[in-house]
Amino acid sequence: MSLITVRCPECREQIQLNDEKEFGFCMNCGHRIEVASVRPPVKNETPKEPEIPKELKTTYEKAKAGDVNAQYELGNCYMTGKIVHQDFEQALIWLNKAADQGEPFAMYNIGILYSCGHGVKQNCSKAQLWFAKANEHGLIDRINEAKAKQKSQ
Protein backbone atom coordinates (compact mmCIF):
# COMPACT_ATOMS: atom_id res chain seq x y z
CA MET A 1 0.00 0.00 0.00
CA SER A 2 1.22 3.47 -0.89
CA LEU A 3 -0.38 6.70 0.32
CA ILE A 4 -0.58 9.81 -1.80
CA THR A 5 -1.27 13.27 -0.42
CA VAL A 6 -3.91 15.27 -2.31
CA ARG A 7 -6.29 18.18 -1.82
CA CYS A 8 -9.98 17.45 -1.65
CA PRO A 9 -11.58 19.26 -4.61
CA GLU A 10 -14.65 19.98 -2.46
CA CYS A 11 -13.31 21.37 0.84
CA ARG A 12 -9.63 21.91 -0.17
CA GLU A 13 -8.32 19.98 2.87
CA GLN A 14 -5.09 18.06 2.40
CA ILE A 15 -5.74 14.33 2.80
CA GLN A 16 -4.02 11.00 2.14
CA LEU A 17 -5.44 8.29 -0.10
CA ASN A 18 -4.40 4.70 -0.75
CA ASP A 19 -3.25 4.73 -4.38
CA GLU A 20 -4.04 1.03 -4.78
CA LYS A 21 -7.78 1.71 -4.41
CA GLU A 22 -10.07 3.10 -7.11
CA PHE A 23 -11.44 5.83 -4.85
CA GLY A 24 -11.29 7.23 -1.34
CA PHE A 25 -13.23 9.66 0.81
CA CYS A 26 -12.22 12.97 2.32
CA MET A 27 -12.12 12.58 6.10
CA ASN A 28 -13.20 16.22 6.47
CA CYS A 29 -16.26 16.52 4.21
CA GLY A 30 -16.89 12.96 3.00
CA HIS A 31 -16.43 13.83 -0.69
CA ARG A 32 -15.67 10.78 -2.88
CA ILE A 33 -12.38 11.21 -4.74
CA GLU A 34 -11.38 9.04 -7.69
CA VAL A 35 -7.74 8.10 -7.07
CA ALA A 36 -6.95 8.00 -10.81
CA SER A 37 -7.93 11.67 -11.10
CA VAL A 38 -5.47 12.79 -8.41
CA ARG A 39 -2.62 10.28 -8.76
CA PRO A 40 0.56 12.04 -9.93
CA PRO A 41 1.75 11.01 -13.39
CA VAL A 42 4.19 8.12 -13.53
CA LYS A 43 7.66 9.01 -14.86
CA ASN A 44 7.65 9.24 -18.66
CA GLU A 45 3.85 9.63 -18.57
CA THR A 46 2.79 13.01 -19.88
CA PRO A 47 -0.10 14.74 -18.11
CA LYS A 48 -3.31 14.62 -20.11
CA GLU A 49 -4.37 17.83 -21.83
CA PRO A 50 -7.69 19.07 -20.46
CA GLU A 51 -10.73 18.54 -22.65
CA ILE A 52 -11.53 21.91 -24.17
CA PRO A 53 -14.87 22.48 -25.92
CA LYS A 54 -14.52 23.45 -29.58
CA GLU A 55 -15.85 26.95 -28.82
CA LEU A 56 -12.76 27.57 -26.67
CA LYS A 57 -10.06 25.75 -28.69
CA THR A 58 -8.69 28.93 -30.27
CA THR A 59 -8.83 30.80 -26.96
CA TYR A 60 -7.05 27.91 -25.23
CA GLU A 61 -4.26 27.81 -27.83
CA LYS A 62 -3.80 31.59 -27.58
CA ALA A 63 -3.78 31.38 -23.78
CA LYS A 64 -1.11 28.65 -23.86
CA ALA A 65 0.94 30.88 -26.18
CA GLY A 66 0.79 33.71 -23.62
CA ASP A 67 -2.05 35.92 -24.92
CA VAL A 68 -3.18 37.88 -21.85
CA ASN A 69 -6.74 38.43 -23.11
CA ALA A 70 -7.18 34.72 -23.86
CA GLN A 71 -5.74 33.79 -20.45
CA TYR A 72 -8.22 36.11 -18.75
CA GLU A 73 -11.13 34.83 -20.86
CA LEU A 74 -10.25 31.18 -20.17
CA GLY A 75 -9.84 31.87 -16.44
CA ASN A 76 -13.17 33.66 -16.38
CA CYS A 77 -14.88 30.73 -18.16
CA TYR A 78 -13.53 28.30 -15.56
CA MET A 79 -14.50 30.67 -12.74
CA THR A 80 -18.09 31.13 -13.89
CA GLY A 81 -18.70 27.71 -15.44
CA LYS A 82 -19.54 29.22 -18.83
CA ILE A 83 -18.76 26.87 -21.73
CA VAL A 84 -16.60 24.64 -19.48
CA HIS A 85 -17.30 22.86 -16.20
CA GLN A 86 -16.68 25.25 -13.30
CA ASP A 87 -13.17 24.59 -11.98
CA PHE A 88 -11.71 27.11 -9.54
CA GLU A 89 -8.22 25.57 -9.67
CA GLN A 90 -8.07 26.05 -13.45
CA ALA A 91 -9.58 29.51 -13.03
CA LEU A 92 -6.76 30.47 -10.66
CA ILE A 93 -4.10 29.09 -12.98
CA TRP A 94 -5.27 31.13 -15.96
CA LEU A 95 -6.23 34.24 -14.00
CA ASN A 96 -2.79 34.25 -12.35
CA LYS A 97 -1.12 34.03 -15.77
CA ALA A 98 -3.14 37.04 -16.93
CA ALA A 99 -2.53 38.91 -13.66
CA ASP A 100 1.22 38.33 -14.04
CA GLN A 101 0.94 40.29 -17.29
CA GLY A 102 -0.90 43.17 -15.58
CA GLU A 103 -4.54 42.34 -16.44
CA PRO A 104 -6.61 44.20 -13.79
CA PHE A 105 -9.85 42.24 -14.32
CA ALA A 106 -7.91 39.00 -13.68
CA MET A 107 -6.55 40.51 -10.46
CA TYR A 108 -10.05 41.54 -9.43
CA ASN A 109 -11.41 38.02 -10.10
CA ILE A 110 -8.60 36.47 -8.05
CA GLY A 111 -9.69 38.82 -5.25
CA ILE A 112 -13.25 37.50 -5.62
CA LEU A 113 -12.00 33.90 -5.35
CA TYR A 114 -10.10 34.71 -2.15
CA SER A 115 -13.05 36.68 -0.79
CA CYS A 116 -15.44 33.74 -1.33
CA GLY A 117 -12.97 30.93 -0.65
CA HIS A 118 -13.41 29.34 -4.09
CA GLY A 119 -10.40 27.24 -5.07
CA VAL A 120 -8.39 28.73 -2.21
CA LYS A 121 -8.79 29.08 1.52
CA GLN A 122 -10.96 32.12 2.19
CA ASN A 123 -8.68 35.03 3.03
CA CYS A 124 -10.11 38.56 3.16
CA SER A 125 -6.65 40.12 3.55
CA LYS A 126 -5.43 38.50 0.33
CA ALA A 127 -8.68 39.48 -1.37
CA GLN A 128 -8.13 43.12 -0.41
CA LEU A 129 -4.55 42.97 -1.68
CA TRP A 130 -5.74 41.66 -5.04
CA PHE A 131 -8.48 44.31 -5.25
CA ALA A 132 -5.90 47.04 -4.49
CA LYS A 133 -3.52 45.58 -7.07
CA ALA A 134 -6.31 45.58 -9.67
CA ASN A 135 -7.02 49.23 -8.88
CA GLU A 136 -3.30 50.10 -9.17
CA HIS A 137 -3.31 48.50 -12.63
CA GLY A 138 -6.17 50.69 -13.87
CA LEU A 139 -9.31 48.68 -13.11
CA ILE A 140 -11.48 51.79 -12.60
CA ASP A 141 -10.20 53.35 -15.83
CA ARG A 142 -10.93 50.13 -17.74
CA ILE A 143 -14.46 49.99 -16.28
CA ASN A 144 -15.08 53.63 -17.27
CA GLU A 145 -13.75 52.94 -20.79
CA ALA A 146 -16.11 49.98 -21.12
CA LYS A 147 -19.06 52.09 -19.95
CA ALA A 148 -18.21 54.86 -22.41
CA LYS A 149 -17.87 52.35 -25.24
CA GLN A 150 -21.22 50.80 -24.31
CA LYS A 151 -22.95 54.22 -24.31
CA SER A 152 -21.57 55.07 -27.76
CA GLN A 153 -22.98 51.89 -29.32
Q: What is the pLDDT of residues 38-84, one digit of tens each?
A: 554 444 444 456 788 899 999 999 999 999 999 999 999 999 999 99
- Which of the 8 DSSP states describes residue 125? H
pLDDT for position 5: 77
pLDDT for position 36: 62
Q: Closest Cα partner for 78 from 104, 100, 51, 101?
A: 51
Pairing mode, if any, of strands 14-18 and 3-7? antiparallel
| Euclidean distance between CA atoms 98 and 74, whole angstroms | 10
Average pLDDT, the chain: 85
| Report field, pTM of the whole predicted structure over 0.75 | no
Determine the average pLDDT of the residues in 98-104.
96
Structural domains of the chain ordered from first start: 3-38 (no CATH), 54-152 (1.25.40.10)
